[in-house]
Amino acid sequence: MKDPQTVPASSPESTNPTQIYKPDSIGLMIPGAEPKPEPVPYGTDVQGRYFDGYPQIVKVEPSEAHYGLRKEKDVMVTMRDGARLAVDVYRPDAEGERFPAIMAYGMWGKDAQEAIEWNADKLQRYYDSPLWDGSMEAGDFTYTVPRGYVHVIPDPRGVGNSDGEAIRPDTVHHTGDIHDLVEWIAAQPWCNGKVAMMGPSSYSWSQGEIAQNDPPPHLSALRPDEMIYWAGDQFHGIYDTLGYHIVYGRHGNDSTPPPSNRPVMPPSSMLMKHLPKELFQARVAEALDNPDYKYNTKWYSALRYPMKSSWVFDTLLDALHPMPMESRAHKMTLPMYVGTPWASRLYIWGTFHVYEKAGTPSRDKKMIVYPPGFPPRPHTSYHDETVRWYDYQLKGIDNGIIDEPPIKMFVMGINKWKFENEWPLARTQWTKFYLHPQGQLSAEPVQPTREVDRFTQPAAYIDSTVYCLKYQSEPMEVDMEITGPVACHLEASIDIDDTNWMVDLIDLAPDGSRQLLSTGYLKAKFRALDQEKSKRWQPVHPRQEPVAVVPGEMNLYSIQMMPTANVFKRGHRVELVVRNQDDLLSRLGNWGVYMLPFMRTVTHTIHFGNSHLLLPLVPRAAG
């Protein structure tokens, strides 16, 4: 280790040696976990059952492919302020018939989405393909249209062939435009007056925005995947660079949002407009002097040149002084079927938050949780679920989907699917696994002791190696299922005024292979808890001014982790990894999937007694 900080001789020694964090040795995807439905006859008792595929209670068969496809390109639709949006319409080739419509409204450009016609049978798996392009998300119109739906893909304002200023990802999802487009679609001679929306990421962002902001009367239902929802109950204070890399084409083989084909003014900084000049200048000066930015020229440059990306400029400043944000998920009342993969960073917390908090009547609110890692692109997976959902919501076909329990999820470890009735599960047995000296993890309590564990993480510009501590349980004597929210509570101290805490939950097999189940993050300066919102399995940290840590002082760091579902099979171990950095040289790091590195050398000390991992154990399911 270069430039290590030594532990004073009088201090208790660690009995758990520091290890090198090697994320490439931890499984992200699950080989063979391909999406496939499993029909279940109506009336079958599904309580406590596992299924090989995602289960579908079938009362009536779904819509079949009966129609040819007609395409209308660059239909110009006038918005309320006179701006015109370019729209592509894919509809059944059936003159005089009216159909429900599905709109995919996102920032990636409608013309690129045509590639679904020749790529739908050449799906690119996330992480395993150099051609995986996350922006191919507007859905497979070659699947929906033959089954009796109009599929509409617009260029939002400022994108491609539409009018408008250059885009910012946080403003392109213009609710006025979405409202006007929905009502335009409903009034067309080929539409029966019922309009829905679908799609992941940017396409889900637009669904969330319109759902909580006076949705138009003809918007009937939603199907958002990988839900981006920034005002949820998950705030950890560490700058996640993934959003930047998605927008600027460094995530996998992602494209970038196409700017307008018309001359436009560059987008401006919102903070530059709204903060008092002196405060704004002080915030910029503080950011430029922050080690996390100044020693990483990619981000220093973004601050020096705000118009490179005014959105990134604003989010970098906001990361140091986060502005309060209140969730408006309760205002969402439309029927919705949300979906997310496990362990998906930006998206899983947003999806679960919206599912739990939305004001949609329980009968019209469903969630599906896919195997870990993003589904293949182009976005064609689970379209049969989308059509079943809209056959019921838009066509009134009582096909069985509304009778299903509201949640269906993939269970890792055994790689099967199941239904659940609520979240968290009512039968959960919340169980503490305590951190013990010598790297042990056990449900047996540990008495407070002078023994501690330490690891020092040098600043990344000194040493790019990522160091960690690992804690492992004894091998499972019987299969153990965990399904639900996960939290890690660490009693710890550091030798400077801040750090980034990162923790991973891993299924460790007897052969040494590891599968990632959940990760959690917390910047030490944002350790304060929202006592009213927090639960022991779901600590909530308010977006507020940072509070420096007193060096050497022991604090409780309560870290919300990603929810998960896994069966630790007999002989497997529970492993907890405690670290400070993502590995930027790993495969994921090279894909732009990492948190902003902490650019100061810091020593972390873990204390024993109440440091524990809280796991949602559930009774053994049948089947």
What phi and psi values does residue 206 have, to the nearest 5 degrees? -65, -35
Tell me the one-letter amino acid at 432. Answer: K
pLDDT at 580 over 70: yes
Cβ neighbours of residue 623 under 8 Å, at least 6 residues apart? 48, 49, 50
- In sequence order, the 6+-apart residues with CB closer than 8 A to the CB of 452 are 11, 12, 13, 14, 605, 606, 607, 608
- 344: how many CB neighbours lie within 10 A of its CB? 21
pLDDT of residue 622: 46
The whole-number pLDDT of residue 13 equals 66
pLDDT at res. 394: 98
Mean pLDDT of 488-504: 98
pTM of the entire predicted model: 0.93
Residue 207 main-chain phi, psi, to 5 deg: -65, -40
| pLDDT 10s digits, 320-356 | 999 888 899 999 999 999 999 999 888 999 999 999 9
Strands 602-618 and 452-457: antiparallel
- Per residue in 379-422, pLDDT (tens digit) is 999 999 999 999 999 999 999 999 999 999 999 999 999 999 99
- Supply the pLDDT for residue 308: 81
Q: For residues 365 and 224, what is the distance between their CA atoms, to the nearest angstrom?
A: 12
pLDDT at 492 over 60: yes
Closest CA to 216 of 328, 362, 103, 109: 103
Q: Is the dihedral of CA 233, 340, 375, 579 positive or negative?
A: positive
| 605 contacts 479 by C-beta, under 8 angstroms | no
Average pLDDT, the chain: 93
* CB of 62 closer than 8 Å to CB of 389: no
Q: Alpha helices of 123-193 — where are they, by DSSP H?
A: 141-144, 175-186
| Region 295-314 average pLDDT | 89
d(CA 199, CA 382): 11
Q: Find where tokens 């976005």 sit.
A: 379
Separation of alpha carbons 241 and 67, rounded Å: 44
Q: What pLDDT, on the 0 to 100 scale, is given for residue 274?
A: 85
Do residues 216 and 183 make contact, with C-beta atoms less than 8 angstroms apart?
yes
In which band, very low, low, confident or very high, does the pLDDT at 12 lie, cut at 50, 70 and 90?
A: low
- Indicate the pairing of strand 514-523 with strand 467-472: unpaired
- Sign, CA dihedral 244-247-250-252, equals positive
Q: How many CB atoms lie within 10 A of CB 479?
A: 15
User: Which residues make Cβ contacts (< 8 Å) with residue 192, sequence separation at least 6?
Assistant: 98, 99, 100
Least confident of 110-114, 127-131, 249-253, 355-359: 249-253
Cβ(112)–Cβ(135) below 8 Å? yes
The fraction of the chain above a pLDDT of 70, given in percent, is 96
Q: Are 296 and 321 in contact (CB under 8 A)?
A: no
- Residue 205: CA count within 13 A, CB half-sphere: 19
Band of the pLDDT at 623, cuts 50, 70, 90?
Answer: very low
Structure tokens at 477: 């004597």
Give Cβ neighbours of residue 509 (< 8 Å, ≥ 6 apart): 515, 571, 572
DSSP-assigned beta bridge partners for residue 222:
197, 336
Assess contact for 197 and 336: CB atoms under 8 A. no
- Of 291, 270, 276, 287, nearest in space to 321 by CA: 287
Ramachandran region, residue 571 (left: φ > 0; alpha: ψ -120 to 50; beta: rest): left
Residue 6 has pLDDT above 50, yes or no: no
In eight-state DSSP terms, residue 495 is S
β partners of residue 515 = 27, 507
Distance CA(590)–CA(594), nearest Å, equals 9
Give the 3-state DSSP-derived string for 592-619, with helices as H, strands as E and coil as C.
Answer: CCCECCCCCCEEEEEEEEEEEEEEEEEC
Residue 266: pLDDT above 90?
Answer: no
Residue 169's pLDDT band (cuts 50, 70, 90): confident
Find the distance separating the first CA and the last CA of the chain, reported in whole Å. 50
Q: Point out which residues pair with 520 in neighbouring strands.
A: 503, 561
What is the model's pLDDT at position 35? 86
CB distance 23 to 588 below 8 Å: yes
Q: Of 240-249, 438-447, 529-538, 554-563, which gets the smallest average pLDDT?
A: 240-249
pLDDT in tens, 140-161: 999 999 999 999 999 999 999 9
Place of tokens 């501590």: 469
pLDDT for 26 beyond 50: yes
